[in-house]
Amino acid sequence: MSDRAVASSPNVISSPLQSLSILVLHGPNLNLLGQREPGIYGSLTLPEINRLLEAEGLKMQVKVFSMQSNHEGSLVDAIHEAIGKYQGVLINPGAYTHTSVALRDAIAAVSLPTVEVHLSNIYCREEFRHHSYIAPVAIGQISGFGVQSYLLGLQALVHHLNSAI
Ligand code: CA2
């Protein structure tokens, strides 16, 4: 039985599904959003982006929990701890996108549907940003739309999860 299904009992006439919970992970330096380099990453701060994601989640009746870390191991831990608590992961791995086999292995290991997002278009930037270690283990990637990348990514993830029931 899936995590979301509610066991039927003779006393329960209707058994509503529990709402989806999504973990949003922001990688290194994204805590600086809105304070530095607005030309590349926009003027919104990370708390403002998180509030927009929560509001978008409310519209789709999903709960959104966000966390940011500058530490690869903390992000790996958060992915491991997502098992059983969250049904999907939305991640902007920041620079770890281009370097981290550990993050990729963690995402592959937990088998939670994961969407990779980037504020900037990584394919229009330096060559070293063109390769993502995360993309092959993600269900999809959205890059280049600023904060809309996050919102579109959340919509796509929720649509994927709702279609998979
Ligand atoms: O475009 C994205 O979202 C990136 O994931 C951002 C990463 C970069 O390494 C990736 O190639 C693409 C960098 C995040 C740094 O965030 C800052 C925010 C404000 C000021 C300075 C850095």
Predicted confidence (pLDDT) per residue in 32-48, tens digit: 999 878 889 999 999 99
Catalytically annotated residue among 86, 96, 118, 150: 118
Residue 16 exposed, middle or buried by CB count within 10 Å (0-12, 13-18, 19+) = exposed
pTM for the model: 0.91
Lining ligand 1 with CB less than 6 A are: 29-30, 32-33, 36-37, 41, 92, 94-95, 97, 118-120, 122, 129
Residue 117: the pLDDT is 98
CA dist., res. 38 & res. 30, Å (int) = 12
Q: Provide the residue ranges of all domains of the chain, joining segments of one domain with +.
A: 6-164
Q: Quick one: fold of 6-164?
A: Rossmann fold (3.40.50)
Q: Which two tokens stand for residue 1?
A: 């039985």
What amino acid occupies position 80? H
d(CA 41, CA 55) in angstroms, rounded, equals 21
